[in-house]
Structure 1
Amino acid sequence: MHQNIIVMRHGDRIDNLDPLWTSTAARPWDPPLAQQGHDRAFQTGKSIQQSLGFPIHQLFVSPFLRCIQTAAEFVISLSAVNDVRENVPSDNILVDPSNVKISFV
């Protein structure tokens, strides 16, 4: 028996695109993803899903907001009903719960 491990970094942070964000942020040490970070995390999830020959069963995530948001986009991409995403926020993607195969530990 063997295990496959995939390591993925969080998406693009808002403070890297808007340096002034930290001056008004309530939690400057915990920046969220920028929109392109959400989009890239979703697209990365779709790419990984298409190239893997095995299912993903567990996802381990740092408690930083940007990491949780990246993981959420990744999970949405794995369980999205359609494979096409054209400028649609993840809130509007149809998700088939029977396709979700990840448990958070």
Structure 2
Amino acid sequence: MSRTIWLVRHGQRVDNVDKKWKENNSTKWDDPELTIRGKQQAHEVGKHFANMNIEAIITSPYTRCIETSAQIAAMMENKSTKICVEP
């Protein structure tokens, strides 16, 4: 049986457009969320994968990655697609 693995990078991070984000969010160290554009990017990727039979989305625990994965999973016709968070 063959298996296809897709690699997707997270959407645009807020610290890429707000250069002061890091100094204003010192408690979050390096875990910025997605920008509005980043959420739209994740939505577009989700539309691309929507009708594919994807069993699992494996993501890192960073907020931007989980937000991207959740948006992709929300678009899936296969509602049994699970998100697995891996360090």
Bin of the TM-score, shorter chain as denominator length: 0.7 to 0.9
Between Structure 1 and Structure 2, whose CA radius of gyration is higher? 1
Give the match for residue 46 of structure 1. 47
The RMSD of aligned alpha carbons is 1.5
* Distance in 2 of aligned mates of 1:35 and 1:104: 22
* Distance in 1 of aligned mates of 2:82 and 2:41: 22
One-letter amino acid of the counterpart of residue 42, structure 1: H
- TM-score (norm. length: structure 1): 0.72
Query: More strand by proportion, 1 or 2?
Result: 2
* Distance in 2 of aligned mates of 1:47 and 1:74: 9
Residues 13 and 33 in structure 1, CA contact (< 8 A), matched pair in contact too: yes
> Which consecutive aligned stretches of 4+ in structure 1 deviate over 2 angstroms post-superposition?
none
Q: CA deviation at 1:48?
A: 2.8
- Unpaired runs of 5+ residues, structure 2, are none
One-letter amino acid of the counterpart of residue 68, structure 2: T
Give the match for residue 80 of structure 2. 101
Q: Deviations over 1:25-55 (max 9, x none)?
A: 13131111111101110111102335xxx40
Residues 60 and 104 in structure 1, CA contact (< 8 A), matched pair in contact too: yes
* Aligned residue pair count: 83
